[in-house]
A and B are shown apart, each in its own frame.
Chain A
Amino acid sequence: MIKVENLRVNYGSIEAVRGISFDVPDGGISTLIGANGAGKSTTLKAICGLIKPASGEILFNGESIGGKDTVAIVSKGISLVPEGRKIFADLTVLENLKIGAYLRKDSLKDDIDWVYSLFPRLEERHWQLGGTLSGGEQQMLAVGRALMSRPKLLMMDEPSLGLAPLIVSDIFSIIKEINSKGVTILLVEQNANMALKTADVGYVMETGEITLSGSGQSLLENDAVRAAYLGT
């Protein structure tokens, strides 16, 4: 679905991503894991056009999208759940969902119902301001909002950040459920254990480069990964 070739992204003179290449296979769950500052979030931002790549190619279903406008990229079916949730604090839950479907002109009812069935809490609180939700509920809202654009590819930046372990496992089971509805998922995580257990394909990023790749299971069993990220 996404094919990244030799992608480089700079912040001024700092090279955040140094020529990485990877594939996100159609219909699966892929994950980028790595420590702080490895360039994972930057990679996601470059894919959805929030940052312009310095060089390299990003192909979405064979079509080059590198360096295009975010509006153009989102309308092709890529949606981002940003790091730190970034929900609209002064809009209600329902308004947040409607903003997620900003580029669509058709009826939203089915999609709102689907999001409510994934996250019943959001339906209970649909009139509440986004900023008054708990952290876990805000994450649910951020995921629901991203789904409202009917994405083919859903990219999630650290969905487990700052959440209680019980809620983290909820979020991951919902990620699997969304994936089972045919949405391809690219997940960026520091919680390497959960991410690799969930993912079909995993990539390990270190200081702007991809150092290891393989199926989620094989990376879980890899000694270097275990030592560096799983603490065993």
Chain B
Amino acid sequence: MKDLSKNASRILTAVALAGFAVFLWLAYKGIALGPYEARIVRLSGIYAIAALSMNLINGFTGQFSLGQAGFMALGAYTTSLLVIPPEAKESLYWVEPINPFVRNLQAPFLVALIAGGLMASFFAFFIGFPVLRLKGDYLAIATLGFSEIIRIFITNLIPITNGPVGLKNIPSTANILWTSLSCAAIVVLLLRLMKTSYGRTFKAIRDDEVAAEAMGISLFKHKLMSFLLSAFIAGISGGLLASVVGAITPAYFRFTLAYEILLIVVLGGQGSITGSVVGAIILSVSKEWLRFLDSGFNLLFFRVPEIAGLRMLVFSLLLMAIILFYRRGLFGSREFSWNSIYRPIAFLINKIRKPKKEAGDDSA
């Protein structure tokens, strides 16, 4: 059985991308999807970006960091404060008056997004110095702790962040094009990065720190680089999230958000870029699709009554089933290839065509 040729794979990829572009355009024009479905696609893109950010530091560099929620919060607040108009901001801050400097800050959405990413990187730089000397579970606990510290600061810096009340009226600039194209840009960035010597170095550190150090690799420098880039991407995803949901509070960025992203990374496969994207789509879509479970439904001849939370129960069972059959996530540390679809199909076709010969081969 032969694999697909490189050219065939390329053509398939090009066709798929073109199809996706057409779909995006139709969705953007409101033809292909309703607003509810479009929102799910937008959230999938954002979750994919957040998962990619976590995959960079966890899956590719091997540093178990759980600080993503904090970096997303920094990105979300920075972006929101830059895009909400000054008058709208003023009316939001009823607990304490808004800091006049923050009131007058304004930027276009793209600049605000990048500022959100940079803000997250800036904090990551200072957090990275003490915590990146830790390893494994200790690093996870320390980054989780710092993420909570960020959230508590946001809760209490009322003149700047409006405290626990949060921010509202965030312009919903991040339409389906924004989220999908940002996600695509970050996928391309990471795919290319992994082909450079930096990507190799990150993976070498993940595989064996002692050997990497013996090669003359500065472990701390590369861990910090990966951590900063990861925080930047998380900040971008936070900014997009704020724009899609329209209202944010510090409670939104609890550590449960980090777990949810970790779930996507593990589901898709640690060290697989396409895996994170597929994982994010599966997670966002299935969580919505399973909603019918909560409101009562007919199971064959039996009427299942309304049980709140049944959706999450089934969702958890599904996840467990996936992890049981795919121990290293759906993609492992590999990327998606057309051959992974083609091979089983070709195998089946072969079986159907000449079942007797196959059996003869086995006995020989």
Contact = CB atoms under 8 A, between A and B. Distances in A.
A89 B215 CA distance: 15
A184 interface: no
Interface of B: 197, 200-201, 203-204, 206-208, 210-218, 271, 333
Contacts of B207: 88-91, 130
A70 interface: yes
Contacts of A70: 213-214, 216
Nearest to A86: B211
A22 B271 CA distance: 45
Given A90-B207, A90-B271, A102 B214 contact: no
B203 A91 contact: yes
A8 B154 CA distance: 51
Nearest to B333: A90
Given A70-B213, A99-B217, 12 more contacts: A50-B213, A71-B217, A80-B214, A82-B210, A82-B214, A88-B207, A88-B212, A90-B203, A99-B201, A102-B201, A102-B216, A130-B207
A91 B208 contact: no
Nearest to A81: B214
Interface of A: 48, 50, 69-71, 74-75, 79-80, 82, 86-91, 95, 98-100, 102-103, 130, 145, 149
A88 B208 contact: yes
A99 to B, nearest CB: 5
A23 B212 CA distance: 27
B208 A103 contact: no
A102 B201 CA distance: 8
A145 to B, nearest CB: 7
Contact of B212 (A69, A99, A103, A130): A99
A72 to B, nearest CB: 9
Which 4 A-B pairs give the minimum distances between C-beta atoms? A74-B216, A86-B211, A88-B207, A103-B216
B214 A48 contact: yes
A50 B214 contact: yes
A152 B23 CA distance: 59
28 contacts: A48-B214, A50-B213, A50-B214, A70-B213, A70-B214, A70-B216, A71-B218, A74-B215, A80-B214, A82-B211, A86-B210, A86-B211, A86-B214, A88-B203, A88-B207, A88-B212, A89-B208, A90-B206, A90-B333, A91-B204, A95-B203, A99-B201, A99-B212, A99-B215, A99-B217, A100-B215, A102-B197, A130-B207
Contacts of A75: 216
Contacts of B210: 50, 82, 86
Nearest to B207: A88
A202 B231 CA distance: 52
A70 B219 CA distance: 10
Contacts of A89: 207-208
Given A50-B210, A90-B271, A149 B203 contact: no
